[in-house]
Amino acid sequence: MTIRPRLGELGLSTGKKARLHRILHGHGLGNGTALFLPYDQGLEHGPRDFFANPAASDPRYIVKLATEGGFNGIAIQIGLAEKFYWDYAGEVPLVLKLNGKTEIPSDAQALSPVNASVADAVRLGADAVGYTLYVGTPVQDRDFEQLKSVRQDAHRYGMPLVVWAYPRGAAIDAKGGKDSFYAVDYAARTASELGADVVKVNFPHPERRAGVPKEYDAEFSGQQAVDAVVRSANRTLVLISGGEKAGDEVMLEKARESMEAGATGIIFGRNVWQRAHDDSLRLVAQLREILSKYPSG
């Protein structure tokens, strides 16, 4: 088990530490762990993600849910932040997602264009910004350049930078795929090297070994893999994401393993809001129960 890094040893500037402290200790359980609610699927996948629970199509419903559920933050795009965050401003931290794309065109050259600035985030009272980095695509160079610009603005404003580190592209597909231990481990490290304060990754799948480098072509348990991923992220706080809706037990087990590995928190969207309101809150209670066992400094 890796020890979860404390805020005081991350080399953070004053503004970043103040905002991360507010997120981790002023909201949610207030014990240094984090539960985030991402709601950018209306852009990433389109309204079809809301057919399972039509109420979730309404951003007001989601922001309210984040408040009721005691989340540490909600991650939304600029349009929804301007139109809906006002109602609950201050009640739940805002993570302004700065880039995004639709799923319509091919993912071969996946790049998530920036649609809002860190200055927009400051203006809206956000406590962090989010950036999706596609690791390993043929246009990775443009992605790194975009991220540089966002990182520098985040530094200037003392705004914590959360990187959604997603392996993508034909080369990734040929080396175990986007959820392989190899890909997730590399993505976590890349985000750390490029200056993320927090990194969001998918739970690694060590059994996806077709085409991975020889070092990863061996037997690893899920716990061993997620331990390694958190180590690769070193002093970058780790959030494990839920991805597509799955069975609750599997998901809760992964949450437990992630926290055991030293992750700071979890970030579940569709698994939370693609179900009825009360059922959502029931699941959130279970997740909080897990987080409560891993207090951090």
Return the active site residues.
Answer: 166, 200
| Residue placing its CB nearer to its own copies in the complex, 142 or 282 | 142
Q: Which of 70, 195, 211, 243 binds its own copies (CB under 8 A)?
A: 195
End-to-end CA distance of the chain: 17
Q: Three-state DSSP class for 124?
A: coil
Q: Three-state DSSP class for 136?
A: coil
Least distance to its own copies, CB of residue 282, Å: 25
* Contact of 233 with 199, CB cutoff 8 Å: yes
| Residue placing its CB nearer to its own copies in the complex, 237 or 290 | 237
Q: Which stretch binds its own copies (CB under 8 A): 77-85, 240-248, 263-271, 276-284?
A: 77-85
Q: Does 244 bind its own copies (CB under 8 A)?
A: no
| Residue placing its CB nearer to its own copies in the complex, 25 or 231 | 231
| Residue placing its CB nearer to its own copies in the complex, 29 or 240 | 240
Least distance to its own copies, CB of residue 231, Å: 6
Binding mask 123-142 for its own copies (x = CB under 8 A): ------------xxxx-xxx
Q: Which of 8, 26, 30, 213 binds its own copies (CB under 8 A)?
A: 213
197: its two tokens: 């304060």
58: its two tokens: 């309404």
| Residue placing its CB nearer to its own copies in the complex, 69 or 176 | 176
86: its two tokens: 């006002």
- Pseudo-torsion of CA 104, 109, 115, 119, nearest 10°? 150
Query: Could you give the C-alpha distances from 121 to 13, 95, 147, 176, in angstroms and in order?
Result: 18, 8, 16, 36
Residue type, position 257, single letter? E
* Contact of 199 with 191, CB cutoff 8 Å: yes
Q: Which of 75, 121, 196, 259 binds its own copies (CB under 8 A)?
A: 196
Q: Does 192 bind its own copies (CB under 8 A)?
A: yes
Q: Burial, 215: exposed, middle or buried (Cβ in 10 Å; 0-12, 13-18, 19+)?
A: exposed
* Contact of 70 with 28, CB cutoff 8 Å: yes
CA 15 to centroid of chain Cα atoms: 21
Q: Which stretch binds its own copies (CB under 8 A): 171-179, 243-251, 268-276, 280-288?
A: 171-179
CA distance 130 to 164: 7
Q: Which of 6, 57, 289, 293 binds its own copies (CB under 8 A)?
A: 57
Least distance to its own copies, CB of residue 272, Å: 19
Q: How many helices (H) and strands (E) does the chain have?
A: 12, 8
Least distance to its own copies, CB of residue 7, Å: 12
Least distance to its own copies, CB of residue 161, Å: 10
Q: Which of 28, 32, 42, 222 binds its own copies (CB under 8 A)?
A: 42
Q: Does 113 bind its own copies (CB under 8 A)?
A: yes
Contact set for its own copies, span 4-23 (CB under 8 A): 10-11
Biggest alpha carbon–alpha carbon distance for the chain:
52
